Amino acid sequence: MNLEDIKNRFSEEVKYVDDSAQIILKGHLVIEDLMTQALEAYVLHTEFVGNARLQFNQKLELCKSISLTDYNNVMWNLIKKINVLRNALSHSLDPERRTKAVESLKSIYDQEFEPKTRVIDGMGEECALCLASVMGALGYLHSFLAEVKRLENLIKMIDLGIHNGGRLE
């Protein structure tokens, strides 16, 4: 493959805006940020969370481990499949890898939601699936983060009681 072939291949890859990829890539960033916020709310010294340089899947597993009741919820699998698709889009040009990742995401999505909820007027099937999956994951993580923040507040109240002469104020 010569330089001209490489340039042509690159030009083909960036010829159009891939809405599905944009949704998954940006959604993945927001999902990861919410998981990081949950981990930081759960621990006592947040600076060490960043220092750990945790990967997405490590954050996902840790978030599942701190969930009081939803550690086996299908939504964690949906988030995992979003990550699989994101990796297929970010680390491969193989269209078959992408297709398999999309089908896997659809299968998990349909376990939790009605298939009709991933149909959006004026949007292609894959793009709508990506958007619906990311929105579902964000909604779930929003409630998960609220759960973790309630625990954080409880721990702060206990700490205040212990370190304030046993008086809760």
Predicted confidence (pLDDT) per residue in 9-33, tens digit:
888 877 767 899 999 999 999 999 9
Question: In the predicted model, what is the mean pLDDT of residues 2-15?
Answer: 84
Long-range contacts of 82-85 (CB under 8 A, 24+ apart): 82/24, 82/27, 82/28, 82/31, 82/133, 82/134, 82/137, 83/28, 83/56, 83/57, 85/24, 85/130
pLDDT at res. 74: 93
pLDDT > 90? residue 60: yes
pTM (2 decimals)? 0.88
Distance CA 94, CA 100 (A): 10
pLDDT at res. 48: 92
Distance CA 6, CA 141 (A): 41
- For residue 121 the two structure tokens come to 């007027």
- For residue 52 the two structure tokens come to 């750990």
